[in-house]
Structure 1
Amino acid sequence: MNEPLQKKSLNSPTFSLSNKMLRLLWLCCYLVLFRFSPTPLFFWRRFLLRAFGSKLGHGVNIYPSAKIWLPGNLEMKHKSTLGPSVKLYNQGRVVISEGATISQGAYICASTHDYNDPLHPLILGPITIGKHAWICADAFIGPNVNVADGCVIGARAVVNKNTESWSVYAGNPARKVNDRERFD
């Protein structure tokens, strides 16, 4: 199950200096060693992400144009994929389960802000993508969402609530439009 949204304290900076320095180091590494690596060098990008704290299973494929905000908040299970131009804004934790595919241009956002507070403090909300789920092109997954096993999120869909397993969702906001046959 998902953890509740976590509001960051107003008495401290949103992110520590060490977190900011790590992200700066990651950005330099991303621009020099990750972003322009040839597409087939998945092992190289796995190596770099593991060096920055990602937990990655075997056979994970991450395309060089995928943007990852903080590798230490990313866990990807065996044979999962982050496609071209995926934006993983993982201020909060993101777990991508075995065999899940995040297609080109999808945006995974594990944080938001408290709009009722005049200071708009950051709120973290972890995201879990289930086994064999498929997030199609340009879809948006919001904070504190569990995309269930086998679920398909259609192109350009916006998901801000948990989904049912082996279902197909489409639209903005995303609604269940069909069932999906099980194959696991």
Structure 2
Amino acid sequence: MFRLPVRPIDRLYRGLILGQKRPIIGPVLRQALKLRGIDIPAEALQPGDGLVLRHAGNVVVHRQSRIGRNVMLHQGVTVGRGDIWREQDPSFRGFVIEDEVILGANAVVVSQKGLLTIAEGTVLGANSVLNTSTGPWEIWAGAPARKVGERERP
């Protein structure tokens, strides 16, 4: 079974992201992370360990997102609304990135309505554009992304 290689720098990034909740230093940490190209709200992270920012930089996650355990985000990943030019639809509920998910380099996850869920164990290939929820342990690729295979469950 593939296990995410969580390095000390990944633990540091996670600590800085969670530190954004702190009263005085939080805004400073948020700006420091943004200077590094990381825009992930502290509320998005679930308790536990395992967020991996592989080649961290230019990673943006919508404020209405929830990120599970052992998630790997490569450089250039964007999770956000697909209709930013208009008023947010009242039915929009955000994004859920479940445990063991891998989002490849420059992958984009967009939604306009409802809740988009990237199910446990899903892999989204590099340069893919996902606009629909996935099933567990699936592999998705393309623009727009479509299911291209399945991962072996641990």
The TM-score with structure 1 as length reference comes to: 0.60
**Cα 1:108–1:122 shift into 2, 3 Å:** same
Say whether residues 1:131 and 2:96 are aligned partners. Answer: no
- Partner of 1:49, secondary structure, is helix
Q: Distance in 1 between matches of 2:59 and 2:133?
A: 20
Identity %: 23
The residue aligned with 1:87 is: 59
Task: Kindly provide the CA deviation profile for residues 20-67 of structure 1, in whole angstroms up to 9, marking residues without a partner as x.
Answer: xxxxxxxxxxxxxxxxxxx9555554444323229xxxxxxx9x8342
Task: Kindly provide the CA deviation profile for residues 71-96 of structure 1, in whole angstroms up to 9, marking residues without a partner as x.
Answer: 24421442122331242242x32211
- Partner of 1:122, secondary structure, is coil
The residue aligned with 1:153 is: 124
Displacement of 1:112 in angstroms is 4.3
Paired residues in the alignment total: 130
- Partner of 2:45, secondary structure, is strand
Structure 2 gap ranges (5+): 1-6, 23-32
Say whether residues 1:103 and 2:74 are aligned partners. Answer: yes
Give the AA of the match of 2:103: I
Give the AA of the match of 2:121: G
Task: Kindly provide the CA deviation profile for residues 108-163 of structure 1, in whole angstroms up to 9, marking residues without a partner as x.
Answer: 11x34487xxxx21345411111111111111011332111011101111111000
- Output aligned runs, 1:9-24, within 5 Å: none
Give the AA of the match of 1:148: A
User: 1:105·1:138 contact (CA, 8 Å) conserved in 2?
Assistant: yes
**Cα 1:46–1:175 shift into 2, 3 Å:** closer
Pick which of 122-131 and 42-51 moved more.
42-51
The TM-score with structure 2 as length reference comes to: 0.70
**Cα 1:132–1:46 shift into 2, 3 Å:** closer
**Cα 1:153–1:45 shift into 2, 3 Å:** closer
Larger radius of gyration: 1
Q: Distance in 2 between matches of 1:100 and 1:46?
A: 12
Structure 1 gap ranges (5+): 1-38, 55-61
The CA RMSD over aligned residues, in Å, is 2.8
- Output aligned runs, 1:1-184, within 5 Å: 41-53=9-21, 65-68=36-39, 71-76=41-46, 77-83=48-54, 84-90=56-62, 92-109=63-80, 111-113=81-83, 120-123=86-89, 124-143=92-111, 144-183=115-154
